[in-house]
Chain A
Amino acid sequence: MYAQQIHQYLESFFRETDCEILKNQPNFLSVQLTNDIDKKIMNRPFYWQYIEATGGEPNPSQITLITNRDALDEGIWGEVIHFGSPRLNQIFKANHELGSMVKMYENVEDYNLVPWLGMNYKISYQCDRTKEMIFSYGINLVTGTIEDNFHDRLMGVELVEDMPRTVFCLPIIVKPKRAMERLEESIERIIQQDDHSWAEEARTRWKKEIHVLDYFYEDEKEKPERYEIEVKAIEERYTPRIKMEIVSGGLFYLK
Chain B
Amino acid sequence: MIIEKSSTWKDNFLERLENDGPWDRFTLYQMNAEVQKSKLITEFSGLQAPKFLKDLNILDHQLEVAQTVIEEMHGKAILADEVGLGKTIEAGLVLKEYLIRGLVKKALILVPASLLKQWVDELNKKFYIPAIGYKKKVAIDQYDVVVMSMDTAKKSPHREQIIEQDYDMIIIDEAHKLKNHKTQIYEFVQSIKKKFCLLLTATPIQNDIFEIFYLVSLLKPGHLGNYEAFQTAFSAKKRSFEQEEFLKELVNKVMIRNRRNDTGFDWTSRQVETFQIDFTEEERQVYDMLCELKNISSVFSGSFSMITLQKEMCSSKEATYLTLEKMKQKVVNPEEVAYIDEIINKLAALQINAKAEKTYEIVQNAGDDKVIIFTEYRSTQAYLQWYLHTKGITSVLFNGKFSKNKKDWMQQLFKDRAQVLIATESGGEGINLQFCHHVINYDLPWNPMKLEQRIGRVHRLGQEHDVQIYNLAIKNTIEDNILNLLNDKINVFEKVVGELDDILTKRA
Contact = CB atoms under 8 A, between A and B. Distances in A.
Interface of A: 1, 9, 12-13, 16-17, 82-86, 92, 95-96, 98-104, 120, 122, 124-126, 128-134, 151, 155, 159, 161, 176-177, 180, 184, 188, 191-192, 196, 198-199, 205, 209, 212-219, 225-226, 229-230, 232-233, 236-238, 240-251
A152 to B, nearest CB: 10
A246 B29 contact: no
Given A83-B54, A161-B26, A188-B3, A95 B32 contact: yes
27 contacts: A9-B35, A12-B27, A13-B31, A16-B31, A83-B52, A85-B128, A95-B28, A95-B31, A95-B32, A98-B25, A99-B24, A99-B29, A100-B29, A102-B29, A130-B44, A155-B30, A161-B25, A177-B10, A184-B5, A191-B3, A196-B1, A215-B226, A216-B221, A233-B195, A236-B193, A244-B4, A248-B32
A128 B223 contact: no
B194 interface: yes
A134 B37 contact: yes
B28 A217 contact: no
Given A86-B130, A99-B28, A100-B24, A130 B102 contact: yes
Contacts of A134: 36-37, 40
Interface string B20-54: 11011111111111111111111111000001111
B10 to A, nearest CB: 6
Contact of B32 (A83, A100, A131, A230): A100
Q: How many B residues touch the partner, as a band?
A: 35 or more
Interface of B: 1-6, 9-10, 12-14, 16-17, 20-21, 23-45, 51-55, 70-71, 74-75, 101-103, 128, 130, 168, 190-196, 217, 220-223, 225-226, 228
B14 A83 contact: no
A202 B160 CA distance: 31
B25 A99 contact: yes
Given A100-B29, A249-B13, A84 B54 contact: yes
Contacts of A198: 44
B6 A245 contact: yes
Nearest to A130: B101
Closest 4 CB pairs of A and B: A84-B52, A99-B28, A216-B222, A99-B32
Contact of A120 (B27, B33, B70): B33
Contacts of A216: 217, 221-222, 225-226
B33 A102 contact: no
Contact of B222 (A84, A191, A212, A246): A212
A248 B33 contact: yes
B42 A131 contact: yes
B488 to A, nearest CB: 29
Nearest to A172: B17
B195 A236 contact: yes
A7 to B, nearest CB: 14
A48 B57 CA distance: 38
B26 A104 contact: yes
Given A128-B75, A129-B71, 20 more contacts: A9-B34, A13-B31, A84-B52, A98-B32, A99-B30, A99-B31, A101-B13, A101-B16, A124-B102, A128-B103, A129-B101, A132-B41, A132-B42, A176-B14, A214-B222, A217-B221, A229-B191, A236-B168, A244-B5, A248-B33
A225 B191 contact: yes
B364 to A, nearest CB: 48
A155 B54 CA distance: 31
A126 to B, nearest CB: 7
A84 B51 contact: yes
Contacts of B54: 82-84
Given A209-B220, A215-B226, A247-B36, A102 B193 contact: no
Given A101-B24, A122-B36, A132-B41, A176 B17 contact: yes
Contacts of A9: 31, 34-35
Nearest to A69: B55
